[in-house]
Amino acid sequence: MKTFIYTATDVQGNTIKNARMSAEDVNDFLEKINEKGLFCSSYKETDSKKSNTLHKFKMEELAYNCRQLSAMLTSGLTLVRALDILYKEQEKEAPKQIFREVYEEVQKGSSFSDALKMQQGAFPNFFVSMVQAGESSGSLDIIVRRLEEYYDKQNKLNNKVKGALMYPIILAVLCVVIVIALFTFIMPTFKDLLTEEDMKGLTGALFAFSDSITGYWYIYVGVVLAVIFIIKYSLKIPAVRYKFDKLICKAPKLGRLIVKVYTGKFARTLSSLYSSGIPMVEALERSAAILNNVFIEKAFVTVVDEVKQGEQLSVSIQRTGIFESMFCSIIFVGEESGALDTILEKSAGFYEDEADSAIQRIVGLIEPVMIIIMGGAIGLVIAGILPALYNGMANVAG
């Protein structure tokens, strides 16, 4: 399947720019354009990697669209009619175009999940898998309602993380601004008051640093950008990303809190997938992948293999050493009682509450660090300047 970006005019004379359509080849593309009653003025073929970047639905968009679709399906509307309404009420052109194509494919007889897959990465794999499970079981309305609940909870969690990190980010920016202001505006005003004798030791080092910032600021900017670039692209190297993700999970104190956040997300995802009728092996693979942690993903390759061979899920997960023992015990109880889906759903709510607490604790660890750095920078400047000023004033008085 290829993707084409085109500009066309409809029968009313309205121009459609940068629209996207999936087709087998150019002839298939032009045939589809004609079927839609459009006059194509220009088009170009784009590869799958580029097409994936056209639009990827964010968590809040998925939560909103699932809520709308769930309400319509529950009220008795057909899927085709619900998709027709859904694409027409999209405010932005990119998602509107995507839902229009999904609607048209379903109208032609394609399954909803196949129509979603044709959008090549616009929808997450989790979403497509759940829809596919709903179609197979004949309970698409129930599955869409679960998707609504899932994305709503994940969106709230993301908002809590963003809200909780806002204060530390402001502190960090304030810290950087204060340090720059101290060394570029405040310290130079004291330089003329000091003698060469005063410009020694800590005082001399601080003023040399101040001079370097004001005179060679572009070097500092270049170094910062270079560090950001190196970190960003180093994390794309599999071996480096694996070690980084492992460090996140194993770091003292902070690692335990981050794993609690992962546990809440993993439990909710596994619960949603497994209770929807998706096989445990596939549910495990997708639940681990959604955490976006290479260390956990690789650990679950072993878990999946062991489960395939008949190993108990709780025992295999316990062996990874990632999640805490209580979570593994909960899974064990679910396996023994034959109500794993119910146990997972209840534990998901518990660990989501734990994740909220963990986020607050993580922020609680970051805040004092920022304050210490800011206070240390101010204290260092005071320790370097005040004694020199005091000596200068004493010499003048003498």
As a whole number, mean pLDDT of residues 149-170 equals: 82
Q: pTM for this structure?
A: 0.71
In the numeric block, the tokens 């794309």 are attached to 236
Reported confidence tier of residue 228, pLDDT bands at 50, 70, 90 = very high
Is the pLDDT at 187 greater than 80? The verdict is no
Domains and CATH numbers, the chain: 2-52 (no CATH), 59-123 (no CATH), 139-398 (1.20.81.30)
- Which whole number is the average pLDDT over 17-37? 76
**44-71, pLDDT tens digit by residue?**
776 544 444 467 888 888 988 999 998 9
Is the pLDDT assigned to residue 95 strictly greater than 50? yes
pLDDT of res. 49: 47
Q: What's the pLDDT at 395?
A: 56
| Band of residue 375 on the pLDDT scale cut at 50, 70, 90 | confident
Q: Contacts for 47-54 with beta carbons within 8 Å, 24 or more apart?
A: 47/3, 48/3, 48/120, 48/121, 50/3, 51/3, 51/20, 51/120, 51/121, 52/120, 52/121, 52/122, 54/20, 54/94, 54/122
